[in-house]
Amino acid sequence: MMRRAVVLCLGLLASPVVAQEDPASAALRAKGLLEEAAVALDHAQGARDRVAALTQTVKAYEAGLAALRTGLRQAAIREKALTQELNSAQGQVADLLASLLTIGRSPAPVQLTHPDGPTGTARAGMILSEVSPALQAEADSLARDLDEVKTLRALQQTAADTLREGLRGAQEARTALSAAISDRTDLPSKFTADPVKTAVLVASSESLGSFADNLGQIVAGEELEGGPDVHEQRGMLELPVQGTILRAAGQPDAAGIVRPGWVIATAPGALVTTPAAATIRYLGPLLDYGNVMIIEPGPGILFVLAGMEQVYGEVGQVLPAGHPLGMMHGAGVAQGEILTQADTGQNTETLYLEVRENQEPVDPDEWFKTDKE
């Protein structure tokens, strides 16, 4: 029986120790980001440039919510792994405790005897003296794992409440931003668009590219010269929305359709902004792309963004870098539905981004920074 106890203990000690990350830290940092965003929302109401202040506030909420969802997923994964480890070790621990209990119940004379005589008894005593600290270490490890499971479960509940508050704050910031954009009257205008010509061009266009290439036809009157130029920022622009590249240029989708631009996965209600100062050439529904925004950051260069639920501005307006262009679908999704996305990932919407130079599509990779760099 003593030998069995020793074998079980050594087997437990020989198990590989895997370093674990601390998922709680990510959730705590995210909570801090959301608290800072809430403070920023209060200050934005009285800011001189409310649009810029609210834009940064919405982005702060987006960053905090994304980090919190990540922390929640990590906590759930860690809890599941610990629970499986504890369940798998349950049988071993039970056998070990039963063996030690049997030893403890044995009469003292029996414990002090050994079939091999005094030498065997001495060796057995030495083994037990070595096993005792190891048993204590294993018990301490199990206690830490149990405490961590308890902490992770409490953290997930607390973080879920924080996520609900963050979602409410983000929606409030989006609403305030939409109102501030509607009230804004200080943006310069480079030209005006002819609504009749625009309608004719929309009806006659067979593709997104052909429409973009013929945008010059919709100008009413003479277009003003000058405006922003983005050439010096080539290859250094940030993505217009927080998200990840789902499909690269030229990569076929599930239906085998190949497009020259990027498909970017985003969170519901994500804010889309200008990567650089640019003039609005078109905004509104087009073909089967939903709402489309086409901006001109420089002569002969067009950025085409498609798939938004809401778009801001007027054709001809010159927008500064980082100015809101629109919002993705899902801003009004029920909180319960969004909360479930913490387990599966939050990027459920897609924005299409295409870059055209001199009426030819080019890989957006030439203009935008990506995670691979």
199-239: per-residue pLDDT in tens?
888 888 888 888 988 887 777 666 666 555 688 888 899 99
What is the predicted pLDDT for the residue at 73?
Answer: 75
Phi/psi region, residue 345 (left: phi>0; alpha: psi -120 to 50; beta: rest), is left
| Sign of the dihedral through C-alpha 242, 245, 250, 252 | negative
User: How far is residue 91's CA from residue 102's CA, in Å, rounded to a whole number?
Assistant: 17
Q: Is 104 helix (H, G, I), strand (E, B) or coil?
A: helix
Between 240 and 344, residue with greater pLDDT: 240
Least confident stretch, 4-13, 76-85, 249-258:
4-13
Extract the tokens encoding 181: 């954009």
Q: What is the pLDDT of residue 347?
A: 72
CA 87 to chain centre: 32
- CA–CA separation, 10 and 178 (whole Å): 65
Virtual CA dihedral for 279, 280, 282, 283, nearest 10 degrees?
160
Residues 298, 283: Cα–Cα separation, whole Å: 18
Average pLDDT over residues 94-122: 54
pLDDT at 226: 56
Contact present, 279 and 153 (Cβ < 8 Å): no
Instruction: Give the DSSP H/E element, type plus range, for residue 296.
Output: strand 291-298
Highest mean pLDDT among 6-10, 168-172, 324-328: 324-328
Residues ≥6 apart with Cβ < 8 Å to 342 = 68, 69, 72, 73, 160, 163
Q: pLDDT at residue 336 above 70?
A: no
- State how far the Cα of 8 lies from the Cα of 127, in Å rounded to an integer: 13
Give the bridge partners for 318, in sequence order: 279
For 282, the enclosing helix (H) or strand (E) is strand 278-285
Q: What is the CA radius of gyration of the chain?
A: 31
CA–CA dist 337, 49 (Å, integer)? 34
Indicate if the pLDDT at residue 81 is higher than 80.
no
Separation CA 151–CA 155 (nearest Å): 6
Binned at pLDDT 50, 70 and 90, residue 274 comes out as very high
CA 151 – CA 130 distance, rounded (Å)? 32
Question: Tens digits of per-residue pLDDT, 19-62?
Answer: 444 666 777 788 888 888 888 888 887 788 889 999 998 988 88
Structure tokens at 316: 């001809």
- Name all domains of the chain by residue range, CATH numbers in brackets: 23-183 (no CATH), 195-331+347-366 (2.70.70.10)
Claim: this prediction has a pTM higher than 0.85: no
The two beta strands, 243-247 and 262-266, are: antiparallel
Q: CA 352 to CA 328: how far, in whole Å?
A: 11
Write the DSSP symbol of residue 48: S
**Lowest-confidence range among 122-136, 176-190, 221-235, 300-314?**
122-136
Torsional sign, CA 161, 163, 166, 167: negative
Q: Please report where in the chains the tokens 């979602």 appear, as a residue.
A: 167
Question: What is the average pLDDT value for the chain, to the nearest integer?
Answer: 76
Summarised one tens digit per residue, pLDDT across range 64-76 is 888 888 777 777 7
CA–CA separation, 324 vs 327, rounded Å?
8
